[in-house]
Amino acid sequence: MTRAAERVARESYGKLVAILALRDRDIASAEDALSDALATALRVWPEQGVPSNPEGWLVTAARNTRKNVARNTRVRRNAEPEILRRIEEKAETVAQQMPLSDERLRLMFVCAHPAIDTAARTPLILQTVLGIDAARIARLFIVPAATMSQRLVRAKARIRDSGLAFSLPEAGEIAPRIDAVLDAIYAAFGAGWDGLDTTDDPAALTGEAIWLARLIVQEMPNEPEPKGLLALMLYCAARRSARRDAYGRFVPLDAQDARLWDRDMVIEAESLLARAAQAGRFGRFQCEAAIQSVHIQRPITGRLNLEALRLLYDMLVAQTGSLGAQIGRAVIWAEAGDTQAAADALDALPPDRVATHQPWWVARARVAALAGDTVRQKDSLRRAIDLAEDAAVRTFLMDQYVELV
């Protein structure tokens, strides 16, 4: 029964928040009411059984909480009957009639509205649509938890006070918002890929991200970047079963058994990337998907096309300048033989951002290994091991370290 409540929370969190916030645009209040409803479900469902319509039960429970808040708020007391009637009628109508895709997309694009601070848009989507807590979002964006919490609080207040419409943007309004929406979906996928998925549902968050990307591809067929994002995630998801061996040990990409890759996902990803290219607008996610496509070709050609990867990483860094892109490019430089340039590029990255960023230490160790610098390699491996959250990855790195001792 507890797992049933957790599953509904994971699958329907964004939908239920959208229903509850639709009338007054108060996302924070909707989240509070939903949290109370979920807490009640965890207490009641094990005793009384899971209701036939779990989502409807949660909406009703959350709505009742908001009714009680309205009753106890002196400012609203005179208008209480009308407020309660409108909240109930609107929630009931939305819960029964609004398609799931509309609810998710509406809420995502509201969170990505130009009126919201740029730094808060993607984190706000992650929290309101996917239910990821502020502390974990802060780790994803490499900022202090308190800073991230403040951004999210301000963004929700902005939506409430500005009365932003909960509607899909017109064609001309998509461009300013689509990047934040796609960034949030990819961040959710990355969080799941790095270990947020639960052990009893290994594709919970990654699967949710892929599903949301499919919705956007369907709703916006002329936009190439959603296709690029979906292709990117499918390339990665296709390799899921090859990431661990029979004993649960981590297997790096270059050592994976390609026969374990999901061929249908790879074919779909290739098709999506080709269709996206027809638009003639080569964006970040298409670039990242193209990088994955090059890696996918290795088992077929017997070699990794480093020239193509260098070009693609140069383009990616020019487009985004992201930490991940710069780290990836440095590793490719080292693989191609330019280890000094790679080491210099890694060392030039902001110390405050890379000090606790585990992928940077892994990359630093790899570059040092290719350069024959054992001292630097050992130092980097020690720090990477300390920062590794995945036990299998930690063991893999420890094995490398032991070989050097």
pLDDT at residue 188 tops 60: yes
pLDDT at 198 (0 to 100): 47
Domain for residue 280, yes or no? no
Per-residue pLDDT band for 199 (boundaries 50, 70, 90) equals very low
Residue 240's identity, in one-letter code, is: R
Residue 225 falls within a domain, yes or no?
Answer: no
- Domain end residue (candidates: 188, 211, 234): 211
Closest CA to 269 of 237, 309, 303: 237
- C-alpha 333/C-alpha 397 separation (Å) is 22
In a domain, 248, yes or no: no
Domain-located, residue 113? yes
pLDDT tens-place string over residues 356-398? 999 999 999 999 999 999 999 999 999 999 999 889 999 999 9
3-state secondary structure of 348: coil
Region 30-42: what's the mean pLDDT? 83
- Residue 203 scores a pLDDT above 70: no
CB contact set of 242 (below 8 Å; sequence gap of 6+):
251, 256, 257, 258, 260, 261
**Whether residues 53 and 145 fall in one domain:** no
Do 69 and 137 belong to one domain? Answer: no
Query: CA-to-CA distance for 33 and 27, rounded, in angstroms?
Result: 10
pLDDT of 6 reads: 64
Q: Which H or E run includes 391?
A: helix 391-404
Paired tokens of 219: 């709703």
Most confident stretch, 9-23, 54-68, 136-150, 300-314: 300-314
Query: What is the distance between the alpha carbons of residues 249 and 243, in angstroms, rounded to a whole number?
Result: 8
Q: Answer with the residue of higher pLDDT: 142 or 80.
A: 142
Task: Select from 73, 98, 123 the last residue of a domain.
Answer: 98
> 92 with 104, same domain?
no
Residues 126 and 189 reside in one and the same domain: yes
Beta bridge partners of 250: 244
At residue 33, does pLDDT exceed 90?
Answer: no
Domain containing 129 equals 99-211
Judged against a pLDDT cut of 90, whether residue 115 lies above it is answered with no
pLDDT at 9: 63
Mean pLDDT within 16-37: 77
Q: What is the pLDDT of residue 383?
A: 97
Q: Which residue has the tokens 């994803």?
A: 140
DSSP per-residue string spanning 114-150? TTS-HHHHHHHHHHHHH---HHHHHHHHTS-HHHHHH
Whether 109 and 189 map to the same domain: the answer is yes
Q: Both 107 and 199 in a single domain?
A: yes
Q: What is the pLDDT of residue 13?
A: 74
In a domain, 91, yes or no: yes
Q: Degrees (nearest 5) of the Cα angle 129, 183, 285?
A: 140
Cα–Cα distance for residue pair 332/133, rounded to 1 Å: 34
**What is the per-residue pLDDT for 70?**
59
Is the same domain home to 122 and 19? no
Note whether residue 283 is domain-resident.
no
Asked if residue 180 has pLDDT above 70, the reply is: yes
Q: Which residues contact 127 (CB under 8 A, 6 or more apart)?
A: 133, 134, 137, 152
Compute CA 28 distance to the chain's CA centroid, rounded to the nearest angstrom. 21
Asked if residue 76 has pLDDT above 80, the reply is no
Q: Where are the beta strands (DSSP E) in 121-270?
A: none
Arithmetic mean of pLDDT over the chain: 84
Q: At what angle do helices 2-21 and 118-130 cross, to 10 degrees?
A: 130
137 and 70 share a domain? no
CB atoms within 10 A of CB 282: 16
Which of the two residues, 96 and 64, has the higher pLDDT score?
64
Nearest one of 58, 34, 9, 19 to 166, comparing CA atoms: 19
Q: What is the dihedral of CA 16, 198, 238, 212, to 10 degrees?
A: 10
Same-domain status, 85 and 132: no
Tokens representing residue 80 in the block: 């209480």
> Which of 356, 10, 55 has the alpha carbon at shortest distance from 192?
10
Beta carbons of 177 and 109 less than 8 angstroms apart: yes
Measured in whole angstroms, how far is the alpha carbon of residue 240 from the centre of its chain? 17
For residues 104 and 206, state if they share a domain: yes
With cut-offs at 50, 70 and 90, classify the pLDDT of residue 139.
Answer: confident
Indicate whether 91 and 105 sit together in one domain.
Answer: no
The pLDDT value recorded for residue 204 is 67
Residue 49, sorted as left (phi over 0), alpha (psi -120 to 50) or beta, turns out to be left
Looking at the DSSP bridge assignments, the partners of residue 201 are: 198
Cα–Cα distance measured from residue 405 to residue 388, given in angstroms and rounded to the nearest whole number: 20
Tokens of 258: 């390609």
CATH of the domain at 372: 1.25.40
Asked if 323 contacts 354 with a C-beta cutoff of 8 angstroms, the reply is yes
* Domain end marker among 160, 187, 211: 211
Domain count, the chain: 3
Question: How many whole angstroms separate alpha carbon 282 and alpha carbon 392?
Answer: 36
The reply to whether 270 falls in a domain is no
Report pLDDT digits (tens) over 217-273: 988 888 999 999 999 999 999 999 999 998 889 999 989 999 999 999 999 999 999
pLDDT score of 3: 63
CA angle in degrees (0–180, nearest 5) for 120-162-36: 70
93-97, 141-145, 152-156, 355-359: which has the highest mean pLDDT?
A: 355-359
Beta bridge partners, 198, equal: 201
Residue 207 is predicted with a pLDDT of 84
- The region of weakest confidence among 65-74, 109-118, 181-190 is 65-74
324 has pLDDT over 80: yes
Lowest model confidence (mean pLDDT) among 21-30, 70-79, 114-123, 222-231: 70-79
80 and 138 part of one domain: no
Q: Is residue 66 part of a domain?
A: yes
For tokens 């990431």, the residue is 243
Structure tokens at 81: 């009957």
